[in-house]
Amino acid sequence: MIDKLHFITQENERFTHLGGIEEALKNGIRWIQLRIKDKHIDEIEDQAWKARKLCDKYNARLIINDHPTIANFVRADGVHLGKEDMPVSHARQILGKSKIIGATANTLEDIVAHASDGADYIGLGPFRFTSTKQKLSPILGLDGYRNILSKCNELGITTPIVAIGGITITDIPALTGAGVHGIAASGMIINASNISHITETIYDIVKQPIDYANNR
């Protein structure tokens, strides 16, 4: 089961990666993606072990961004692959059938390839500009999501699609209405003045039944 709210780590003035994870866990989030860029592999591995312990404490899932070998070593629940990472099929050879493998998409063609390759979920984005990623793919916007998800439906693609990239709380109803399974959030969580309130609000929205007719 793919959660409807994915927390992706980043650092800010208030939180380290691990501090953000613990705060997210304390406020009910149970899907954590450890995303550390531009650090030595040993440091990423060390942070992954500590993240694993935190997630075990709260019975949460841990996904490691970019590094299937680290995900395997620290017994994470899975890996998320970026557009420049190895194919899903290669990661599956490392992790086996029981682990979760997610992959990033920006186009319908990306989604078709990942779905046929056996991805468990697909992160589609970016929705709008975000400073979290240095190499940003073309921005999709709501119309982009509606167009791609409509075509996915026509093609019978059932792989859960998770929206990502600069999403705010007011964007979520329209995105779920467009047909996304859930949303990924980073800054929206750790930059919030009241993390408990915004987390509860997100869950209230994404768990609502989707009224496709009134959201197109």
Is 214 inside a domain boundary? no
Which residue is associated with the tokens 């046929």?
A: 116
| Interatomic CA distance for residues 62 and 76, integer angstroms | 5
Q: In the chain, how many domains are there?
A: 1
Is 171 inside a domain boundary? yes
Based on its alpha-carbon atoms, the radius of gyration of the chain, rounded to whole angstroms, reads: 16
Tell me: the pLDDT tens digits for 122-140?
A: 999 999 977 665 566 789 9
Give the confidence band of 9 by pLDDT, cuts at 50, 70, 90. very high
Asked whether the whole model's pTM tops 0.95, one would answer no
Is 66 inside a domain boundary? yes
Q: Determine the pLDDT at residue 129.
A: 77
Q: Determine the pLDDT at residue 210.
A: 45
Instruction: Report the share of the chain in percent with pLDDT over 70.
Output: 93
Q: Determine the pLDDT at residue 214.
A: 40
Tell me: the pLDDT tens digits for 15-72?
A: 999 999 999 999 999 999 999 998 999 999 999 999 999 999 999 999 999 999 999 9
Whether the CB-CB separation of 183 and 166 falls below 8 Å is answered with no
Is 213 inside a domain boundary? no
Domain holding 144, by residue range, is: 5-208
SS3 string, the chain, reads CCCCEEEECCCCCCCCHHHHHHHHHHCCCCEEEECCCCCCHHHHHHHHHHHHHHHHHCCCEEEEECCHHHHHHCCCCEEEECCCCCCHHHHHHHHCCCCEEEEEECCHHHHHHHHHHCCCEEEECCCCCCCCCCCCCCCCHHHHHHHHHHHHHHHCCCCCEEECCCCCHHHHHHHHHHCCCEEEECHHHHCCCCHHHHHHHHHHHHCCCCCHHHCC
Whether the CB-CB separation of 18 and 51 falls below 8 Å is answered with yes
Whether the CB-CB separation of 4 and 182 falls below 8 Å is answered with yes
Is 203 inside a domain boundary? yes
Tell me: the pLDDT tens digits for 130-166?
A: 766 556 678 999 999 999 999 999 999 999 999 999 9
Burial of 62 (0-12, 13-18, 19+ CB in 10 A): buried
Task: Tell me phi and psi for residue 150, to 5 degrees.
Answer: -65, -40
Q: Determine the pLDDT at residue 46.
A: 98
| Interatomic CA distance for residues 210 and 216, integer angstroms | 11
Is 121 inside a domain boundary? yes
pLDDT averaged over the chain?
A: 93
Is 113 inside a domain boundary? yes
- Could you tell me the CATH number of the domain that includes residue 142? 3.20.20.70
Is 215 inside a domain boundary? no
What would the mean pLDDT of 67-93 be, rounded to a whole number?
Answer: 96
